[in-house]
Every structure is written in C-alpha cells, then in structure tokens.
C-alpha cells in the first residue's frame, strides 16, 4: 500500500512538473507577428546659441532626425509597414557638450527639457525633463524621461524633430556644440 502511494505521488508530481514546464499556447497578449525593436536616434549634432540671460527659454534649439521609417519597419519583415507600429517608448536621452568649457556647460542651465514633433503629429510633447540640474561643471547629461507616453503618432513620419528648452541659470559665453542620443523601444504588430 505504501509503495502504491509513493508511486501515485511521484506520478502526480511528474505530471504537474510537465504542465508547469510546458509553455502556454496562448498567453492572450502576443501572436507570432509581434516584434519589439530598438530605435536609436543617435549622433544628432546641433548647437545651442549663446544664452544672453537667465530665465525660461521656450526654444533654445531644434534638431532633426531623418530616417525612412517605412524601410526601417520593413527590415523586420515584409509583412510590416508604418501602420504596424503599435507602441514607441523612450528608453534614454543623453546630451554631450563637445566644446563646453568652465563658462559654458551644463551648469549654466537650471532645467532641460526635450520635446518631440513630427510630420504626423505637430503638437510638441515633452518626453524628457531634468528639473534641477546641479550647479557644477559638467559636459554631459542624461535627461530622464518625463513619464512613459506612447509616442506612436510621432514615429509614423520619416523625420522627427526635437526641441531643447528649459530654464537658464546664467548666461553662456559662446555657442555650445552638442550631440544628442535618444533610444526608443518600438512594438510592431501585424
């Protein structure tokens, strides 16, 4: 009797382990045509003009990133096109001042914001914000994403325009050359 109980227990344990180890056929959230891809709008070079005074500045500089979005999406499979873009979320945003010095660098700014517009959505939308920059010499900054909006309506265009704006702590002494790198995750679904 004891031997039968042990065998029954081992059988039930084996069946349970098999059920839990086998992947579910339908999790209800994806199918075979969903893909998550990385989009890097990188090495965007621009120049912040001389900032003459302190205070809010609604538009220090705008810069563009141009790519053939339809070709980019199709590179992940011929079944995809721009209508397959279901979600785009910002992962990271960084700025590097390539010619900054002790009188013109990140410390000249109290806040820094990045906004986005495109040919498919002309409304400027703040995607990243640094609200209290430390008053210390620095030549690069990672600007945290504001929150996690779905930017899909901006990425169905072949070019995206970014705007840098914020609050100037003190005047800069020269134009500052910068490089911006923004990284996104895009979900394609067909």
* Domain 29-188, CATH class in plain words: mainly beta
What's the Cα-to-Cα distance from 79 to each of 26, 29, 153, rounded to whole Å?
A: 22, 19, 20
- Least confident residue range of 13-22, 44-53, 63-72, 135-144: 13-22
Counting other chains too, the contacts that 101-105 makes at CB distance below 8 Å and 24 or more residues apart are 101/173, 101/174, 102/137, 103/172, 103/173, 103/174, 104/172, 104/173, 104/174, 104/176, 105/137, 105/138, 105/139, 105/176
pLDDT at 32: 55
pLDDT 10s digits, 15-35: 343 333 333 333 334 455 889
pLDDT 10s digits, 167-188: 999 999 999 999 999 999 999 9
Could you tell me the pTM of the whole model?
0.77
pLDDT 10s digits, 91-142: 999 999 999 999 999 999 999 999 999 989 999 999 999 999 999 999 999 9
Please state the domain extents for the chain. 29-188
Cβ-Cβ contacts under 8 Å for 183 (sequence gap 6 or more): 38, 39, 40, 41, 42, 90, 91, 92, 93
Once rounded to an integer, what is the mean pLDDT over residues 151-172? 93
- Residue 3: band (very low, low, confident or very high) from pLDDT cuts 50, 70, 90: low
pLDDT 10s digits, 73-88: 999 998 999 999 999 9
């Amino acid at each position: 009797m004891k031997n039968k109980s042990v065998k029954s227990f081992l059988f039930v344990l084996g069946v349970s382990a098999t059920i839990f180890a086998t992947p579910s056929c339908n999790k209800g959230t994806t199918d075979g045509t969903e893909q998550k891809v990385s989009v890097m709008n990188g090495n965007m070079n621009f120049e912040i003009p001389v900032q003459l005074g302190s205070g809010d500045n609604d538009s220090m500089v705008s810069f563009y990133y141009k790519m053939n979005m339809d070709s980019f999406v199709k590179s992940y499979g011929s079944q995809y096109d721009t209508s397959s873009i279901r979600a785009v979320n910002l992962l990271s945003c960084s700025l590097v001042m390539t010619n900054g010095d002790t009188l013109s660098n990140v410390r000249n700014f109290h806040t820094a914001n990045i906004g986005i517009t495109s040919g498919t959505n002309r409304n400027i939308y703040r995607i990243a914000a640094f609200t209290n920059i430390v008053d210390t010499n620095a030549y690069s900054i990672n600007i945290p994403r504001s929150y996690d909006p779905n930017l899909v309506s901006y990425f169905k265009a072949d070019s995206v325009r970014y705007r840098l704006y914020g609050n100037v702590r003190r005047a800069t002494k020269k134009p500052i050359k910068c490089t911006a790198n923004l990284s996104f995750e895009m979900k394609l679904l067909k």
